[in-house]
């Protein structure tokens, strides 16, 4: 009898293990299916199927259990795609209404899926332009379809890409169009914007593209201008870092010829007497802006305390992850910490776009463009 009972218990345990294994496999299969749906919308090209794919990804995510959501992993997909709290999306205005009128000011940004940053950094610039130019309809366009899809899927907020924004302007009978890019420089994103605009120039009576934040690139690393000086003063004042603390400003970096802009910003900081300010980039282009090179420069200058802050219009993915994520071994915070050379490392996650002096510079660039358009 005892042997029979033992056998029955053993069979019950095997059956339970089988059920658990089956359930585990089912959970993984459900998570993988949603990961595929997320990867399908993590693309830069919008198609006629995009909206339906976005709805499918959101519905798939919502149908998962909490345990299944933690298992979501794909080429680009992870639990943070839908699960990370980046703030209240309703605080942001996508500026995609019709009834534009004859004069439109289209503010073009790369974009960000971080809701608070989008509202404060990009939204801060847009609101400054709305206040400055009440006779112009201010509208928004993002260049990153990946971000547009993410925000629409997670938060239900629809943001126009540049082509959609231009088509909207045409449909609304806009005659004069001023395009104000929030890009930092005349880099690849700026060039792509101009290429897109080229197909629409005959749709309006006049089109003018305003200067990006830092103005003309210049010929060499030592060449600076009034725009770079204004931004340098504004970001240093906003950071409010003591002179005995190193302020490391992390830009994006680029292989475009405009990468000299970062070297010019370093030259500008030095010309202004900011000996504690160091310019770096995520991409390490130019080479002297790579994280390891910046660490060595800060060490050589004798600083033991450091503040990391983005030299980016928006404090989005790069600021939160590449700069300030303590769990990521390759983040700047982690690499500065791992160097063992500093007793204190702090992060300021604030984009340039929320600084009033930076907003005023965009307003001035727009004024020049409006004057040019007549």
Domain endpoint, select from 55, 83, 111 = 83
Under the banding of pLDDT at 50, 70 and 90, the label for residue 202 is very high
275 and 165 both lie in a single domain:
no
Checking if the pLDDT of 90 tops 50, the result is yes
- What is the CATH number for 102? 3.40.50.1400
Nearest to 347 by CA among 302, 317, 312, 306: 306
Q: Which H or E element spans position 364?
A: helix 356-373
How many other C-beta atoms lie within 10 A of the C-beta of residue 323? Answer: 27
Q: Which two tokens stand for residue 288?
A: 């002297």
286 prior amide bond cis, ω within 30: yes
Do the beta carbons of residue 118 and residue 190 sit within 8 Å? no
How many other C-beta atoms lie within 10 A of the C-beta of residue 42? Answer: 18
Checking if the pLDDT of 2 tops 60, the result is no
140 and 61 both lie in a single domain:
no
Per-residue model confidence (pLDDT) at position 87: 95
Per-residue model confidence (pLDDT) at position 118: 97
Per-residue model confidence (pLDDT) at position 25: 87
Checking if the pLDDT of 308 tops 70, the result is yes
Q: How many domains does the chain have?
A: 3
Q: What's the pLDDT tens digit per position in 103-155?
A: 999 999 999 999 999 999 999 999 999 999 999 999 999 999 999 999 999 99
Per-residue model confidence (pLDDT) at position 221: 87
Distance of CA 204 to the CA centre of its chain: 30
69 and 96 both lie in a single domain:
no
Per-residue model confidence (pLDDT) at position 8: 40
> What percentage of the chain has pLDDT greater than the value 70?
94
Q: Which two tokens stand for residue 166?
A: 């231009």
Handedness of CA 357, 322, 346, 333 (dihedral sign): negative
Q: What's the pLDDT tens digit per position in 346-355?
A: 999 999 999 9
Nearest to 178 by CA among 142, 144, 116, 133: 133
Nearest to 234 by CA among 356, 66, 63, 374: 356
**CA distance linking residue 269 with residue 3, whole number of Å:** 83
Q: Which two tokens stand for residue 242?
A: 């003591």
Q: Which H or E element spans position 347?
A: strand 344-347
**CA distance linking residue 142 with residue 108, whole number of Å:** 6
Q: Return all residues near 59 (Cβ < 8 A) that are at least 6 apart.
A: none
Per-residue model confidence (pLDDT) at position 374: 79
Q: Is residue 220 a part of any domain in this protein?
A: no
Taking residues 167-195, report their average pLDDT: 95
Nearest to 289 by CA among 303, 273, 304, 269: 269
Nearest to 37 by CA among 9, 3, 75, 7: 75
180 and 291 both lie in a single domain:
no
Under the banding of pLDDT at 50, 70 and 90, the label for residue 27 is very high
115 and 66 both lie in a single domain:
no
95 and 175 both lie in a single domain:
yes
Q: Is residue 178 a part of any domain in this protein?
A: yes
DSSP state of 316: S
Distance of CA 7 to the CA centre of its chain: 61
Checking if the pLDDT of 79 tops 50, the result is yes
Sheet strands side by side (includes 176-181): 137-142, 103-109, 176-181, 206-209
Per-residue model confidence (pLDDT) at position 277: 98
Q: Which two tokens stand for residue 37?
A: 């749906």
Domain endpoint, select from 35, 56, 83 = 83
Domain endpoint, select from 35, 51, 83 = 83
Q: Helix 2-41 to helix 145-155 angle, to the nearest 10 degrees?
A: 130
128 and 207 both lie in a single domain:
yes
263 and 165 both lie in a single domain:
no
Taking residues 282-310, report their average pLDDT: 96
Per-residue model confidence (pLDDT) at position 23: 61
3-state secondary structure of 257: helix
3-state secondary structure of 181: strand
Taking residues 10-25, report their average pLDDT: 50
Per-residue model confidence (pLDDT) at position 218: 83
6 and 31 both lie in a single domain:
yes
**CA distance linking residue 126 with residue 51, whole number of Å:** 26
- The b/e string for 179-207 (b: 16+ C-beta within 10 A; e otherwise) is bbbbbbbbbebbeebeebbeebeeebeeb
Q: Is residue 221 a part of any domain in this protein?
A: no
Nearest to 353 by CA among 198, 265, 187, 234: 234
Checking if the pLDDT of 16 tops 90, the result is no
Domain span at 236: 226-312+316-349
CA distances to 19, 190, 193, 359 from 183, rounded to whole Å, are: 55, 7, 10, 13
Under the banding of pLDDT at 50, 70 and 90, the label for residue 258 is confident
Per-residue model confidence (pLDDT) at position 334: 97
3-state secondary structure of 85: coil
Higher pLDDT, 223 or 63: 63
107 and 187 both lie in a single domain:
yes
Rg (CA), the chain: 25
């Amino acid at each position: 009898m005892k042997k029979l009972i033992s056998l029955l218990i053993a069979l019950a345990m095997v059956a339970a293990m089988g059920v658990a294994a089956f359930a585990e496999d089912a959970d993984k299969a459900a998570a993988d299916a949603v990961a595929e749906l997320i990867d399908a919308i993590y693309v830069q090209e919008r198609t006629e199927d995009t909206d339906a794919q976005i709805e499918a990804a959101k519905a798939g995510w919502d149908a998962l259990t909490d345990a299944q959501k933690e298992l979501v992993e794909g080429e680009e997909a992870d639990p943070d795609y839908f699960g990370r709290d980046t703030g209240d999306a309703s605080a942001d205005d996508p500026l995609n209404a019709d009834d534009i009128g004859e004069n439109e000011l289209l503010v073009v940004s790369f974009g960000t899926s971080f809701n608070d940053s989008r509202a404060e950094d990009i939204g801060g610039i847009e609101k400054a332009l709305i206040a400055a130019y009440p006779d112009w309809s201010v509208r928004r366009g993002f260049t990153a379809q990946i971000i547009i899809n993410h925000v629409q899927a997670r938060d239900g907020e629809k943001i126009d890409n540049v082509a959609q924004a231009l088509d909207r302007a045409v449909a609304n009978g806009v005659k004069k169009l001023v395009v104000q890019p929030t890009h930092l420089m005349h880099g690849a994103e700026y060039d792509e914007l101009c290429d897109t605009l080229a197909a629409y120039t005959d749709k309006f009576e006049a089109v003018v593209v305003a200067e990006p934040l830092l103005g003309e690139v210049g010929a060499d690393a030592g060449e600076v201008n009034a725009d770079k000086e204004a931004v340098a003063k504004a970001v240093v004042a906003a950071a409010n870092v003591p002179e005995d603390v190193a302020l490391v400003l992390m830009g994006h970096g680029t292989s475009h010829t405009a990468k000299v802009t970062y070297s010019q910003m370093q030259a500008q900081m030095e010309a202004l007497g900011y000996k504690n300010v160091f310019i770096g980039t995520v991409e390490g282009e130019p080479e002297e802006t790579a994280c390891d090179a910046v660490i060595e420069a800060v060490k050589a200058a004798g600083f033991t305390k450091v503040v990391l802050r983005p030299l980016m219009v928006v404090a989005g993915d790069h600021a939160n992850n590449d700069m300030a994520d303590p769990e990521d071994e390759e983040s700047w915070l982690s690499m500065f910490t791992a160097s063992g050379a500093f007793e204190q490392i702090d992060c300021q996650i604030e984009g340039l776009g929320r600084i009033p002096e930076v907003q005023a510079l965009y307003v001035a660039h727009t004024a020049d463009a409006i004057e040019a358009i007549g």
